[in-house]
Structure 1
Amino acid sequence: MSPSSGPPVIFDTARRTARLARSDPRFASADFLHARAARNAVDSLDTLLREWPEVADLSAHPGPFAAALAESDAARKVGAVKTSGDRASRAGPGAGPLELPDQSQDLIVSLMSLHWANDLPGALSQIRRALKPDGLFVGTLLGAGTLKELRGVLTEAELEVRGGAQARVSPFADGYDGAALLQRAGFALPVSDVDRVTVRYPDLLALVRDLRAMGETNVLAGGGRPLTRAIVARTAQLYAERHAEPDGRIPATFEIVHLAGWAPHESQQKPAARGSAKMRLADALGVREQSGED
C-alpha cells in the first residue's frame, strides 16, 4: 500500500508518547476529566446484569478506571483489569496492531485516548475484533466543542501578530457522529452521548498547566513555527477580553463523548429504524446523564 492510500497522519505519535510520559508526575493534579469519564463508564457497567471475566483497559492513563471501579458495586462483576499495550500504542490508538487476540475480551475500555487516533475507524475496528461475541466496548474521547474558546483567540492572536495562523488545537471529532463511527467499525447497538464540562481558570497559564499535566498539548503532525511570547501574551489578553467572567476567571469548555457498542451476536435485539443509533447513552444504559460545571 502506498503512503498516499492510507489514512492521513494528523498527529505525531512519537511526540504524543513523549508528552504523555512527561505528564505522569503531574497527572494526579489534573485528572478530573479522566476521573469523570471513568465514573460514567463504571456507572454504565453497574446497571447491566452481566459479568466480564476478561477485561482490557486501553486508556493512555489507565489509573482512573481502576480507581473508579474499586469504589463501585460493579467491581464484583468485573475480572482483573489488564492494561493492554505499551505506552506508544496507548498514546496513539490504532498506530499498530492491537496486542489482544481476536475474540478474547468480554469488556474493553478506552478512556480519553481515542481522539489521538490517526485512524479512528480503524482503531475501533481493532477493538471490536478483540471482543468476544456479545462483548462490550465502553470508551470516551474529547469532542469538537473542546477548548473552543482557546481555539478562537489563539488563531486571532497569531493572525494579528504574525499575519498568518496555523492549527494549534486538535481537530476533535463531532460527538454526534459517535454512534455512526461505531456502526462503521462493525459494532452492534451503538450509542453515543456528549457531556459538556466548563472549567474556570484564573488565567491562560493555569489552563496550559492542566493541559500539560493531562498530556493533552498540541502534537499535530508537520511541526510548524513555534509560538512567540508576543502571540501568547496577546492570546491571554484576548481570552480575558472575550470570555472573562465578572470575577475575572476564564472558562474552558471540554466536551467528553461517551461511546458504547457490542460485538455482534445472534442473541442481540435487532436495530430499530435507521437513525435510532443516535439515542442518548444515558437513556440506553439507564444511567443519569452528567452535565453542568466543574
Structure 2
Amino acid sequence: MTVPVIFNRKLVRYHRDRAALHHQTIQDIVQICADRIVDRLDDIQRSFMNVLEIGGRGVIAPMLQSKGMNVVSADLSHRLVSLNSVPSVCMDEEYFPFQAHSFDLVIANFNLHWVNDLPGTLLQIRKILRPDGLFLATVPILPTLSMLRHIMAEEEVELCGRVFPRISPFPDLRACATLMQRAGFALPVVDKEALPLVYRSAMMLMQDLRFSGETNALMEQQETFTSRSFMASCMAKLQEQGELSVPLHFAVLTGWGPDSSQSQPLQPGQFSVSLEDALKN
C-alpha cells in the first residue's frame, strides 16, 4: 500500500534542530508534559529495565534513568537527542534500527504527529517491544490550535481565494484509539489530557511554536513566501482576542506487547452472566 507523504521529513528535522538551540525557552512546558507521562509509570505495579525514549528533549531520559532504568534516547534531530546524557541514537521514527523484542518500555513524547506512516511506526514499536512490554506516548489532538487554524483559513480565503495548509492535521481521540487497535497492541487505552496555556500576545504564541519545532512542515504548503499583509492581518485578528487561551489537548496512548499471560476477552457464548442481568445488579 502506498503511504501518503504528508510531511516533509527533512523540514521536520530542520525545525527540530533549530528548536534544540532554544530548548530552554519552552523548558517549563516540556517539563510539565514530561512529568505527566512519567507519572503514569508510577501507577503501574511493575518494573522496567530496558527503555527506548523518543523525542524527550533531554528531559524524560534522566527522569527514567533516576528510576534505575537503562535508557536509550532517540530523535530525528541530532541536536535534540544530543541534549541527553544517556546512550543516544539519531534515527527516523519511520525506520526503527532495533531488533524485535529489544525493549520492555517504549516512551514517545510529542513527536509521532510528524510521522507520515503512523500505523507503520506503531507497528514497528509493537515489534521492538518484548512480550508484555509497555508502550506509552503523547500525541497532540484536536481541538489544539483550532482558533489559529480558523483565523488563518479565514484570512487566506479573503486575500487569496483559497486555503493553503499551514498547521499540522491533528487526529482526534477516536482516531488514536483506532490506530492502537490496528497496530495490534494488547489492552490498548487512550485517554485525553489538556494543558492550559495563555499568551499575552500572538507574537509570543508564534515564537513558542517556532522554538518548539512545531511550525509548518507540510508537503502541500505554499511555495511562495507568506505575504506580510497576510501575517499582519492574522496577528491583528488574534490580538483582538486579548489574552490568548491556547490549551494543548493531547492523547495519552497506552498499549502492551501481546503475551499469553495477559487477560484475554471471552469469545461469544462463553459469558456466564447476561448483560441484562449485569446491568440489573
Query: Which range, TM-score by smaller chain?
Result: 0.7 to 0.9
Which whole-Å deviations, capped at 9, do the CAs of 1:164-194 have from their partners, x for residues lacking one? 2211111011123322211110100000111
Which whole-Å deviations, capped at 9, do the CAs of 1:1-30 have from their partners, x for residues lacking one? xxxx41100000001101110111211211
The number of residue pairs the alignment matches comes to: 257
**Which residue is equivalent to 2:58?**
63
Which whole-Å deviations, capped at 9, do the CAs of 1:228-268 have from their partners, x for residues lacking one? 11111111122233xx2xxx311213211111100000011
Cα distance between partner residues in 2 of 1:272 and 1:199: 44
Cα distance between partner residues in 1 of 2:194 and 2:32: 11
Cα deviation, residue 84, structure 1: 3.1
Cα distance between partner residues in 2 of 1:62 and 1:180: 28
Cα distance between partner residues in 2 of 1:37 and 1:206: 20
Cα distance between partner residues in 2 of 1:25 and 1:272: 52
Pairing partner for 1:134 from 122, 132, 135 = 132
Please report the RMSD computed on the Cα atoms of aligned residues, expressed in angstroms.
2.2
Q: Aligned AA for 2:247?
A: T
**Which residue is equivalent to 1:150?**
148
- TM-score, structure 1 length as denominator? 0.81
Q: Identity, % of aligned pairs?
A: 33
* Distance of aligned partners of 1:269 and 1:263 in 2 relative to their CA distance in 1, 3 Å threshold: same
Higher deviation after alignment, 153-162 or 118-127: 153-162
> Unpaired segments of 5 or more residues in structure 1?
275-294
Cα deviation, residue 87, structure 1: 2.6
**Which has the larger share of helix?**
1
Provide the secondary structure at the position in 2 that maps to 1:172: coil
* Larger Rg computed on CA atoms: 2
Is contact 2:13-2:76 (8 Å) kept?
Answer: no
Provide the secondary structure at the position in 2 that maps to 1:205: helix
Q: Aligned AA for 2:261?
A: S
> Unpaired segments of 5 or more residues in structure 2?
79-88, 269-281
- TM-score, structure 2 length as denominator? 0.85
Pairing partner for 2:204 from 203, 206, 213 = 206
Which whole-Å deviations, capped at 9, do the CAs of 1:8-57 have from their partners, x for residues lacking one? 00000001101110111211211344323321221111122211111111
Cα deviation, residue 155, structure 1: 0.8
**Which residue is equivalent to 1:25?**
21
**Which residue is equivalent to 1:108?**
106
**Which residue is equivalent to 1:268?**
262
- The correspondence of residues 84-103 of structure 1 with structure 2, limited to 5 A, is 84=74, 87=77, 93-94=93-94, 97-103=95-101
